[in-house]
Amino acid sequence: MENKYTEQQLRNIAGECQEFEHIINAMGYGYSLLNVSAANYARRCTDCIHWLGGSCNIFQKEISQWE
Protein backbone atom coordinates (compact mmCIF):
# COMPACT_ATOMS: atom_id res chain seq x y z
CA MET A 1 0.00 0.00 0.00
CA GLU A 2 2.92 2.37 0.61
CA ASN A 3 3.84 2.48 -3.08
CA LYS A 4 0.45 3.98 -3.85
CA TYR A 5 1.34 7.28 -2.18
CA THR A 6 4.10 9.73 -3.00
CA GLU A 7 6.83 10.76 -0.59
CA GLN A 8 5.47 14.30 -0.71
CA GLN A 9 2.00 13.15 0.35
CA LEU A 10 3.36 11.05 3.22
CA ARG A 11 5.54 13.90 4.49
CA ASN A 12 2.99 16.69 4.10
CA ILE A 13 0.22 14.84 5.91
CA ALA A 14 2.52 13.68 8.73
CA GLY A 15 3.99 17.18 9.01
CA GLU A 16 0.61 18.62 9.91
CA CYS A 17 -0.75 15.70 11.94
CA GLN A 18 -1.34 16.40 15.63
CA GLU A 19 -1.48 12.65 16.41
CA PHE A 20 1.84 11.70 14.79
CA GLU A 21 4.05 9.49 16.96
CA HIS A 22 7.12 7.89 15.43
CA ILE A 23 7.31 4.12 15.89
CA ILE A 24 10.91 4.38 17.16
CA ASN A 25 9.87 6.79 19.88
CA ALA A 26 6.87 4.66 20.84
CA MET A 27 9.09 1.59 21.19
CA GLY A 28 11.27 3.50 23.65
CA TYR A 29 14.57 2.88 21.87
CA GLY A 30 15.38 6.51 21.25
CA TYR A 31 16.56 8.03 18.02
CA SER A 32 20.29 8.05 18.84
CA LEU A 33 20.37 4.31 19.55
CA LEU A 34 19.09 3.61 16.04
CA ASN A 35 21.32 6.26 14.41
CA VAL A 36 18.47 8.51 13.37
CA SER A 37 19.97 11.94 12.99
CA ALA A 38 17.79 14.85 14.02
CA ALA A 39 19.13 16.73 10.99
CA ASN A 40 17.93 13.99 8.63
CA TYR A 41 14.70 13.22 10.43
CA ALA A 42 11.57 13.53 8.30
CA ARG A 43 8.05 12.83 9.50
CA ARG A 44 6.29 10.35 7.23
CA CYS A 45 2.92 8.72 7.76
CA THR A 46 4.50 5.32 7.18
CA ASP A 47 6.70 5.86 10.27
CA CYS A 48 3.74 6.61 12.56
CA ILE A 49 2.21 4.19 15.05
CA HIS A 50 -1.23 5.02 13.63
CA TRP A 51 -0.34 4.14 10.02
CA LEU A 52 -1.62 0.54 10.11
CA GLY A 53 -0.97 -0.10 6.43
CA GLY A 54 -2.64 3.14 5.39
CA SER A 55 -5.85 2.63 7.31
CA CYS A 56 -5.25 5.56 9.66
CA ASN A 57 -8.46 7.63 9.78
CA ILE A 58 -6.56 10.92 9.75
CA PHE A 59 -4.48 9.82 6.77
CA GLN A 60 -7.54 8.62 4.85
CA LYS A 61 -9.33 11.90 5.42
CA GLU A 62 -6.34 13.97 4.33
CA ILE A 63 -5.36 11.83 1.33
CA SER A 64 -8.89 12.06 -0.06
CA GLN A 65 -8.30 15.81 -0.44
CA TRP A 66 -5.27 15.12 -2.69
CA GLU A 67 -7.37 13.23 -5.22
What is the sign of the dihedral through the CA atoms of 5, 8, 13 and 14?
positive
- Angle (CA) 57-63-67 rounded to 5° is 140
Residue 41: its pLDDT value, please?
Answer: 72
Q: How far apart are CA 49 and CA 1, in angstroms?
A: 16
Instruction: Determine contact, residues 22/48, Cβ cutoff 8 Å.
Output: yes
Give whole-number Cα distances, 60 to 3, 42, 65, in Å: 15, 20, 9
Instruction: Write down the pTM of the prediction.
Output: 0.76
What value does the mean pLDDT take over residues 10-23? 92
Q: What is the mean pLDDT of residues 30-46?
A: 67
Q: Please give the average per-residue pLDDT across 54-65, as a whole number.
A: 94
Q: What is the pLDDT of residue 23?
A: 81
